[in-house]
Chains A and B, each alone.
Chain A
Amino acid sequence: EIVLTQSPATLPLSPGERATLSCRASQSVSGYLAWYQQVPGRPPRLLIYDTSYRATGVPVRFRGSGSGTDFTLTISSLEPEDFAIYYCQQRANWPQTFGGGTRVEL
């Protein structure tokens, strides 16, 4: 199965700052890479699918990029509600797999 490695594990930042999260795949995922946001006690919420497409209702400050095995989620200017855990996920191969997550914290 494809292993996704996220870095850093924790990202301490302040509101208004830029967040850059990384996800590396053990083999090519052909662009089928998604990003999810999870607030404690809530289910994951789809932010980005297929590398760079924002899901319905997702603010433009969230941007996905990358190709092959290396992908990035950028949050241009952190809002208070953005402090959460972010997971990448691939759906190129069965089974879909998730990374271990990056916690964006104050």
Chain B
Amino acid sequence: EVQMVESGGGLVKPGGSLRLSCAVSGFTFSSYSMNWVRQAPGKGPELVASISSQSGYIKYVDSVKGRFTISRDNANNTLFLEMNNLTVDDTGIYYCARETAFTGTDSWGQGTLVTVSS
């Protein structure tokens, strides 16, 4: 069974930092591209960052470029998102999600809540 468990969310002040983790099991992590997708309260999901299976391809949405860093540890089946200089607009649930060439974004974790507030 595919499982993805996010952690690392919490309450942080504007300008602060957080590091999210996503522990994966049930599939060959090193064979898949992965995404971080966030969802602000009452809004639709928003793709934040993507990383290819061997980290050769990394992309960010414009609103997080220069502030967020996506990375992965294939030996330990873990995906990361380093978030710096956080703003209130970064508030939301952050999901890790598996990406396949055939079906697209087909599996999601349960999410971790990030709240940026003074």
Contacts and interface: CB of A to CB of B under 8 A. Distances in A.
Contacts of B35: 96
Contacts of B95: 43-44
A49 interface: yes
A63 B110 CA distance: 26
Nearest to A88: B44
Interface string A1-41: 00000000000000000000000000000001010100000
Interface in B76-118: 95, 103-111
A87 interface: yes
Contact of A91 (B43, B104, B107, B110): B104
Interface string B11-51: 00000000000000000000000010000000111110000
Contacts of A97: 46-47
Contacts of B47: 95-98
B114 to A, nearest CB: 15
Contact of A46 (B106, B110, B111): B106
Interface of A: 32, 34, 36, 42-46, 49-50, 53, 55, 87, 89, 91, 94-101
Interface of B: 35, 43-47, 59, 61, 95, 103-111
